[in-house]
A and B are shown apart, each in its own frame.
Chain A
Amino acid sequence: MTAPLLETRGLTMRFGGVVAVDAVDFTLEEGELRCLIGPNGAGKSTFFKVLTGQLLPSAGTVRYRGRDIAGAAPHAIARAGIGIKLQTPSVFNGLSIRENLWLAARRKNGAKRADAVVDGVLSLIALAGSTDRIVGTLAHGQRQWVEIGTVLAGEPDLILLDEPAAGMNHDEVGRTAEIVRAINRTTSLIVVEHDMAFIRMISDRITVFNRGSVLMEDRADAVMRDQRVRDVYLGKKAA
Chain B
Amino acid sequence: MIRTVLSLRVTLLCALGAAVLAGLAPQFVDTFTLLQATVFVAMAVLALSLGFIWGFGGILSFGQAAFFGLGGYAYAVGAFNFTDSTVPVILSMLVPMLFAALLGYFMFYGRISNVYVGVITLTVTLILFNVVNSTAGDAYRIGSAALGGFNGIPSVPGITLPFTGYAFAPEDDWYLAAGCLIVVFVGLKLLLASHFGRVVVAIRENEVRASLLGYDPRLYKLLAFVVGGGIAGLAGCLYTLWGAFISPTIFGLATSAQIIIWVMIGGLGTLIGPVLGAVAIQVLVTEIGGQQLLDANFVLGAILLVFVLVLPAGVVPTVERGVAALWRRGRRGRPGPAEAPAAHPLPGKALS
Tell me the A residues contacting B by CB distance below 8 Å.
52, 54, 73-75, 78-79, 83-84, 86, 90-95, 98-99, 102-104, 106-108, 111, 115, 132, 150, 154
| B212:A90 contact, CB within 8 angstroms | yes
Tell me the B residues contacting A by CB distance below 8 Å.
1, 3, 195, 198-199, 201-202, 205-206, 208-217
Q: A103-B199, A104-B213 are in contact. Are A54 and B205 (CB under 8 A)?
A: no
**How far, in angstroms, from A134 to B152 measured CA to CA in the complex?**
50
| B195:A74 contact, CB within 8 angstroms | no
Q: In the complex, how many angstroms separate the beta carbon of A187 from the nearest chain B beta carbon?
A: 16
**How far, in angstroms, from A214 to B204 measured CA to CA in the complex?**
38
**How far, in angstroms, from A127 to B215 measured CA to CA in the complex?**
26
Please provide the 8 A-B residue pairs with the shortest distance between their CB atoms, ordered closest to farther: A78-B214, A92-B205, A74-B211, A79-B214, A75-B216, A75-B211, A90-B209, A104-B213
| B206:A92 contact, CB within 8 angstroms | yes
Q: In the complex, how many angstroms separate the beta carbon of A51 from the nearest chain B beta carbon?
A: 11
Residue of A whose beta carbon sits closest to that of B217: A75
| B211:A78 contact, CB within 8 angstroms | yes
**How far, in angstroms, from A104 to B198 measured CA to CA in the complex?**
11
Task: Pick from B1, B198, B216, B217: contact of A103, CB below 8 A.
Answer: B198
- What total count of A-B pairs have CB within 8 Å? 66
- List 5 extra interface pairs beyond A91-B206, A103-B202, CB under 8 A: A75-B212, A75-B217, A83-B213, A103-B215, A150-B209
B-side contacts of A54, CB under 8 Å: 208, 212
**How far, in angstroms, from A86 to B206 measured CA to CA in the complex?**
13
**How far, in angstroms, from A103 to B212 measured CA to CA in the complex?**
11
| A91:B195 contact, CB within 8 angstroms | no
A-side contacts of B3, CB under 8 Å: 132
| B212:A73 contact, CB within 8 angstroms | no
A-side contacts of B216, CB under 8 Å: 73, 75
| A91:B211 contact, CB within 8 angstroms | no
Q: In the complex, how many angstroms separate the beta carbon of B331 from the nearest chain A beta carbon?
A: 16
| B198:A83 contact, CB within 8 angstroms | no
**How far, in angstroms, from A83 to B213 measured CA to CA in the complex?**
7
B-side contacts of A103, CB under 8 Å: 198-199, 202, 210, 213, 215
Q: In the complex, how many angstroms separate the beta carbon of B183 from the nearest chain A beta carbon?
A: 25
| A90:B208 contact, CB within 8 angstroms | yes
25 contacts between A and B (CB under 8 A): A54-B208, A54-B212, A73-B216, A74-B208, A74-B211, A75-B211, A75-B214, A75-B216, A78-B212, A83-B213, A86-B208, A92-B205, A92-B209, A93-B206, A95-B205, A99-B198, A99-B202, A102-B198, A103-B198, A103-B202, A103-B210, A104-B213, A115-B1, A150-B213, A154-B214
| B215:A75 contact, CB within 8 angstroms | yes
Give the most central of A52, A93, A107: most B CB within 10 Å.
Answer: A107
**How far, in angstroms, from A102 to B215 measured CA to CA in the complex?**
13
Q: A99-B198, A103-B198, A103-B199 are in contact. Are A90 and B206 (CB under 8 A)?
A: yes
**How far, in angstroms, from A160 to B283 measured CA to CA in the complex?**
56
B-side contacts of A84, CB under 8 Å: 212
| B212:A52 contact, CB within 8 angstroms | yes
B-side contacts of A92, CB under 8 Å: 202, 205-206, 209-210
| A107:B212 contact, CB within 8 angstroms | no
**How far, in angstroms, from A150 to B212 measured CA to CA in the complex?**
10
A-side contacts of B211, CB under 8 Å: 73-75, 78
| A154:B209 contact, CB within 8 angstroms | no
Give the most central of A74, A78, A132: most B CB within 10 Å.
Answer: A74
| B208:A94 contact, CB within 8 angstroms | no
A-side contacts of B208, CB under 8 Å: 54, 74, 86, 90
| B214:A95 contact, CB within 8 angstroms | no
Q: In the complex, how many angstroms separate the beta carbon of A91 from the nearest chain B beta carbon?
A: 6
Residue of B whose beta carbon sits closest to that of A107: B214
**How far, in angstroms, from A78 to B215 measured CA to CA in the complex?**
8
**How far, in angstroms, from A129 to B26 measured CA to CA in the complex?**
52
**How far, in angstroms, from A46 to B208 measured CA to CA in the complex?**
15
B-side contacts of A94, CB under 8 Å: 205
A-side contacts of B206, CB under 8 Å: 90-93
**How far, in angstroms, from A86 to B209 measured CA to CA in the complex?**
9
**How far, in angstroms, from A211 to B223 measured CA to CA in the complex?**
43
**How far, in angstroms, from A104 to B205 measured CA to CA in the complex?**
14
| B202:A83 contact, CB within 8 angstroms | no
Residue of A whose beta carbon sits closest to that of B4: A99
**How far, in angstroms, from A131 to B210 measured CA to CA in the complex?**
20
| B212:A95 contact, CB within 8 angstroms | no
Q: A73-B216, A75-B216 are in contact. Are A106 and B195 (CB under 8 A)?
A: yes
A-side contacts of B198, CB under 8 Å: 99, 102-103, 106
| B201:A107 contact, CB within 8 angstroms | no
B-side contacts of A74, CB under 8 Å: 208, 211-212
A-side contacts of B1, CB under 8 Å: 98, 115
Task: Pick from B195, B201, B213, B215: contact of A95, CB below 8 A.
Answer: B201
